[in-house]
Amino acid sequence: MNNSLSEDNEISSYTLELQSETEEYIKNYLKIDQKFFRKNHIGFLKKVVAHLPLSSGFISLDASKPWILYWTVHALDLLSYPLSKELQNRIISTLKNIQNPITGGFGGGPGQISHLATSYAAVNCLAIIGTTEAFEIIDREKMYKWILSLKLSNGSFMMAQDMEVDVRGSYCAVNIAKLLGILTDPLCEKVAAFICECQTYEGGIGAVPNVEAHGGYTFCALAAMEILKATETLKLNDLLFWAVSRQMTLEGGFQGRTNKLVDGCYSFWQGGLFPILSNYFENNDLYSKDFLQRYIFNCCQNSKGGLLDKPSKPPDFYHSCYVLSGLSTSQHEYNKDLEGNYAVSTIEEVENDWVDDNSSETSPKDNTDTFSTTVVNDYDSSLVIITLYSEM
């Protein structure tokens, strides 16, 4: 980055110039009172799941098949679009062929190595479908042993055998384990301590210790800590200050890191932090939900279908998933009751109008490798936030 000091002593830089250009461009879109193109978004998303197995046009994404299915299935679920039984079975069959018969994990495609990220996507996709047939394809014993084999002595997880280590691995591991009822003490040991080491001087959380805080890694870390019931071991005041500072003053959306541009996907990666944090600060108005929704409606929609990063960017399945997830979290309140059980209500519902998530099973209390014989019956996208989206 080339920094220079102008004659009037105002600091100029490439990133500041880009921010100024983005603001000027987005101002025009914020003046429009845009409607929500629900039917068009459904049509855009159905293009993928209606043509399984994936066509040759997806060759460049050959290692991301579980992600493509998760993004589209989750987004359709948020839009309250029911999948037909035939389509459910095709998705289940596709994911079954991607599962590694040796490790129990899922790769990016058939014959590819097991990876925590694609295993997370596959398991969460199957959990959204939520049928007995969906859960039956998962070999929980092999999955458990494989996840445990990726764990390092400091409590972190490799994303795959002999591959990178960061807090994504921590979140993917405990999320999968919680959904499948295999969240044991050996699996959880030292995980929270590693995540705490990744919190930066800014208050956000980086991929590993001593790197820059980032929205995606911060959500993964905070959601993992909530699953582990260790959230309060983080510096929550610092985390909240960092998170609220990421909402852009003019745009209303979120940036992923300090001094970066707004991006629609951070509607969830950053916006998803607040439903969790609200319970510790006893405040459901920690950020401007209306401001975020204005950015989403006016700047993140393609009128022909699909959601996007910002105006001038094309729609894609990744942004469709996370923009809708952010929109949903801004329209719901996530609460804990006195026993620590999770519940969610829409903004309009009374505070005590709970939604039963049937996810009250507990992991073993002894330090053994045994695990629960049940799985979570009602899907929760982060295992922390239930992002149910109703038609507008």
Tell me the torsion sign for CA atoms 234, 231, 163, 58: negative
Element (DSSP H or E) covering residue 268: helix 266-269
**The residue type at 344:** V
Measured distance CA(96)–CA(40) in Å, rounded:
30
The encoded tokens of residue 201 equal 């001087």
Count the alpha carbons within 13 Å of 200 in the hemisphere toward its beta carbon.
Answer: 19
In Å, how far from its chain's centre is CA 359?
Answer: 19
The encoded tokens of residue 4 equal 């220079």
Count the alpha carbons within 13 Å of 144 in the hemisphere toward its beta carbon.
Answer: 21
Measured distance CA(100)–CA(97) in Å, rounded:
8
Q: What are phi and psi of 14, to 5 degrees?
A: -60, -45
Q: Which residues are catalytic?
A: 214, 257, 260, 263, 265-266, 309, 316, 319
List the one residue out of 233, 350, 333, 321 whose CA is nearest residue 274: 333
DSSP label at residue 158: B
Measured distance CA(11)–CA(100) in Å, rounded:
54
SS3 321: helix
- CB–CB of 332/325 below 8 Å? no
Residue located via tokens 């979120």? 254
Hey, which residues does 12 pair with through a beta bridge? 4
Provide the strand spans (E) within the chain.
4-5, 11-12, 332-336, 342-346
- State the Cα angle at 268 between 231 and 50, rounded to 5°: 125
Measured distance CA(145)–CA(140) in Å, rounded:
9
